[in-house]
Chain A
Amino acid sequence: MSHSPAAPESSAATGSAATAEEDPAAGAEPPHVRSLPRRLLSRPELGSLVGAVAVFVFFAVAADTFLKASSLSTVLYASSTIGIVAVAVALLMIGGEFDLSAGVLVTTSALVSSMFSYQMTANVWVGIGMSLLVTLAVGVFNGWMLTRTGLPSFIITLGTFLMLTGLNLGLTKLISGTVSTKSIGDMEGFPEAEKVFASSFQIGGFNLRVTVLWWLGLVAVATWVLLRTRAGNWIFAAGGNSEAARAVGVPVRATKIGLYAGVAFCAWVLGQHLLFSYDVVQSGEGVGNELIYIAAAVIGGCLLTGGYGSAAGAAIGALIFGIASKGIVYAQWDPDWFKFFLGAMLLLAALLNAWIRKRAEATR
């Protein structure tokens, strides 16, 4: 709001009818231009941006090798593997729900792709397509169960999480005889799939992994959807007040199912990346990552109860994770400290976000 300080009472919305027609000055001033600091302050990702800069500067000082191009590309790569899923998890959280199954779903996706290709065909693309179907089906199942039963998403996805963890190990052992899949590196289509999901480009001394492009692309799409499409409006409304949203005709159920499908899609992208960069998949992987995605979204300013947040914020949250996990290595500390560091980051960010939001709303 850009009105003069001479009219402080107008900061509370002047909804009184009396002033409507008699106040020509109201029309003269630009009605919906807000000052830059105010707009910045009301952005959900502000807190995480401050945090990311602080963590970056900290490790730039603490570790000599941190600012090298090769180190930075490693940091970006680590961030992207968290960020790809965290973006979708952030959207889901804005829509008011959780997904505890996202971590193991990544592994499920890679396993399905690998094993289907190996057992059924000679072409990896068939497995990739099959994996997309299965992964999306799990996402839709989560959303469908949630909207049909009305149970908390924590319970529903905890159930899927445990079931998938068991299925991943059980089925892999049953089919392959071991806990990891067979190599599919010599199969048809592998080089092309590797290019799409796990290649890298050399730009100067900087090694750009393709996952970083996936990550940025997904953040851009998610931001577009959230701020400029009807679906975005519905996501905010479904998380902010689902009853009100339903009452004005928003398809809340479909929106939530769509959000779970979005998480599944991102889990599929990351799953294919893991498969085509390592060639084999360990069936026990992925457990615990779901909490990292959620933490990245929360650090990025998403409100745990829904209705508030941004995709860019989740990306910055993922970046903080990437910087911290690799920064500790470059600083040659014991990596055991990483988790402690992250926990502290999470708490600080959550407090900072709450404080900023309070200030932004109070001074409005």
Chain B
Amino acid sequence: MTDEQPESARPEQGAHPAEDAGTATGADTGTATGADTGADTGTATETDAAAEQSAADAPLLRLEQVTKSYGNVAALSEVSLDVHAGSVSCVLGDNGAGKSTLIKIIAGLHPHDSGTYTIDGEPARLGSPREALDRGIATVYQDLAVVPLMPVWRNFFLGSEPRVGRGPLRRLDVAEMRRTTRRALLRMGIDLRDVDQPIGTLSGGERQCVAIARAVHFGARVLVLDEPTAALGVKQSGVVLKYVAAARDEGIGVVLITHNPHHAYLVGDRFVLLKRGEMAGSHAKESITLDRLTREMAGGSELDELSHELERSPAPPPPGSAA
């Protein structure tokens, strides 16, 4: 409960409609990126068709009827979600829909109350983020992904630092860390000239990309992204989505948490809709259009009613037009 409160109190709540409008106007850039990534997937699916087939049977990660309450406030009730290798599962929902609770359960920050959480077919109950990481589940948080004052290369290896030497001389392999950081970022298509700069000097999109590259480098099999595009402009969002697609093409199962159906539809293979902690729908990409997704996300029938109420009553012809 205490974790949910600050979220719902965040000022960004009010900014959402405006942001969605912004995305709509930038749809051109968005679709361009989508076309690129779409082509990539095409080739990937052909080569990995066999792998896909078997992966489809056994999800990397599966939530069934998972429920979580904070005190006597139910934050999440009976939510189910499958994550397959090389595919993107999107979790859509408005603020307070339970998206961040879902992340916290997947990432091992909070245990769930009931339902089952299986990783590779085995029931799991994660006690800490470290346990989740050890089982190949990496989470990239929107605002707390990095330590701003630390250099890029230190951030990149934080928590998994390679070392050389023995005994008291056991030390960080600094040269290797710098080199690897540069290489891993280049592999994801990010060119940083200076990995020694504090990561706080990078833009929001670049920071997200470094965090994604880090997760990929450390062999994450499941990558959970918390609102990766929420604080970004249209162009930066496109860049981040491209890295999401790149991660997917490396065979990673991606969980993309977002409130933006346009972004979700560009990269997503499955869409789970959350509303006030409950599942409001689960669709494969083939079975739903962007329009429908947007409408469901916005409230479906509620929206119909609203548009009906807001409709202009037929205006009388302007007085001057008679002449």
Contact = CB atoms under 8 A, between A and B. Distances in A.
Contacts of A204: none
Contacts of A120: none
Interface centre among A26, A34, A244, A303 (most CB of B within 10 A): A244
B242 A17 contact: yes
B147 A245 contact: yes
Interface centre among A17, A237, A247 (most CB of B within 10 A): A247
Nearest to B129: A247
B187 to A, nearest CB: 9
B198 A20 contact: no
A44 to B, nearest CB: 10
A14 interface: yes
Contacts of B144: 241, 243-244, 247
Interface string B160-172: 1101000000111
A336 B25 CA distance: 69
A248 B186 contact: no
A15 B190 contact: yes
B129 A246 contact: yes
Contacts of A303: 149
A224 B174 CA distance: 13
Nearest to B246: A17
Nearest to B205: A15
Contact of A13 (B129, B148, B163, B201): B201
Interface stretch (B150-158, B282-290, B304-312): B150-158
B194 A245 contact: no
B202 A13 contact: yes
Contacts of A229: 163, 170-172
A80 B93 CA distance: 59
Interface residues of A, number: 41
A31 interface: yes
Nearest to B236: A15
A303 B200 CA distance: 16
A241 B147 contact: yes
B189 interface: yes
A1 B194 contact: yes
A229 B163 CA distance: 8
Nearest to A21: B189
B172 A245 contact: no
B4 to A, nearest CB: 16
A228 B239 contact: no
B147 A244 contact: yes
A332 interface: no
B163 A237 contact: no
A10 interface: yes
Contact of A15 (B160, B182, B209): B209
A232 B150 CA distance: 11
Nearest to A17: B189
Interface string A19-54: 111010010010110100000000000000000000
Interface centre among B107, B146, B178 (most CB of A within 10 A): B146
Nearest to A225: B171
Given A15-B202, A32-B178, A236-B150, A245 B159 contact: yes
Given A17-B242, A20-B189, A250 B158 contact: yes
Contacts of A230: 161, 163, 172
Interface in B187-213: 189-198, 200-203, 205-206, 209
Nearest to B139: A247
A16 interface: yes
Contacts of B148: 240-241, 307
Nearest to B218: A248
B147 A15 contact: no
Contacts of A244: 141, 144-147, 158
A268 B61 CA distance: 51
A32 B174 contact: no
Given A16-B191, A236-B147, A244-B146, 15 more contacts: A15-B192, A15-B206, A19-B191, A31-B182, A31-B193, A31-B194, A230-B163, A232-B172, A233-B158, A237-B154, A243-B144, A244-B147, A247-B129, A249-B129, A364-B197
17 contacts: A1-B194, A12-B201, A13-B203, A14-B193, A15-B206, A16-B239, A17-B189, A26-B193, A224-B171, A237-B154, A244-B141, A244-B145, A245-B159, A249-B159, A307-B147, A307-B150, A364-B201
- Of all A-B residue pairs in the complex, the 3 with the closest CB atoms, nearest first, are A17-B189, A15-B206, A240-B147
Interface of A: 1, 3, 10, 12-17, 19-21, 23, 26, 29, 31-32, 34, 224, 228-230, 232-233, 236-237, 240-241, 243-250, 303, 307-308, 361, 364
